Structure 1
């Protein structure tokens, strides 16, 4: 991540989306870095932050830092926000809205209980018992590991073990478990691609 962020000399086109916490916003640099910083949140303050230091630390004080100092192991914001584990985890995951759209597409195409095959019984009714599609997408983005994800959504141990089995099967290339869950061959590629993204960012560690 640190090496990636130091590519800040590249001309970056930044667009800002309404964010998730502290009245914050999202920045997406994915077209430049080929990894996602769409979940990196900051307060919008284009007048007080220079283009070379576009990330404004939350709070009343006007502290702006360069993107290269995000998640570099050295806190630059007063409350260590630029090194917050959730922020740093989210920075390397697919964008929250992309994940939410993917989950919603699966539910629309295959029915409101489709994701019960992955997340267990609490994933019925379009993920409503888990807080809805958006909350699950946020948890997938911000949870450093599978165990953190389970805690965030209060998953039962049996459901968490099942989900771990699914991820291990994807990681090892053994898709027989996915097939045994009733996932069709035509669905396997997209689902594997999505789960692989999480595995590659340490979700199973």
Structure 2
């Protein structure tokens, strides 16, 4: 799976025994004279605390430190999937959805049109809703990927880029011109900066 270990200390040997015991628990073992018979259980085993990430298919669990480290550890390489690795650097989808929802609650259902364009009317419904936009912000590597994912007009993507550039350059006036209240400026700037810092404008 992309990892090899040549020596085992006492701690490593103990860890190996724990791993073997864990894998054995995923099987029913029937002993017959001179024969061990292994039958796969249909019930998935729980991932161990030190290997909490379950690969697609449910058979393999890996340590978080092996996610997005450049070496595939899941059988299908999912732990190196670009969208997964982008999302790992971004704010959680729930946090992003909550932030967008709070702006809509404060300013009305068409407020985010000022950021995302005319398709963002009616609480983002033409874009699939708040959750879909939050997922796209989390998984899209760049602003162009985001625009492609949500089928935004090129002019809307360029407007959004100008908002992000204003934040990156410290132009608070641009955010105020969008109608963002003084009390919200800090939160909006913090949120947009998190996306910029993870390569959203690259």
Matched ranges for 1:1-205 at <5 A: 47-59=45-57, 62-205=59-202
Secondary structure in 2 matching 1:114? coil
- How far off is 1:182 after superposition? 2.3
Please, what is the CA RMSD of the aligned residues?
1.5
CA distance in 2, matches of 1:66, 1:186: 41
TM-score, structure 2 length as denominator? Answer: 0.76
CA distance in 2, matches of 1:115, 1:173: 21
CA distance in 2, matches of 1:66, 1:82: 10
Give unpaired runs (5+ residues) of structure 1.
1-44
Q: Would you tell me which structure has more helix in proportion to its own residues?
A: 2
Runs in 1 of length 4+ with deviation above 3 angstroms? Answer: 45-48
Secondary structure in 2 matching 1:139? helix
Greater Rg by CA: 2
CA distance in 2, matches of 1:124, 1:110: 12
1:113-169 CA-partner distances (Å, limit 9, x unpaired): 111111111111000011000000000000011011001100000000000000000
Alignment length (residue pairs): 160
Partner of 1:24: none
Q: Is the 8 A contact 1:46 1:54 kept in 2?
A: no
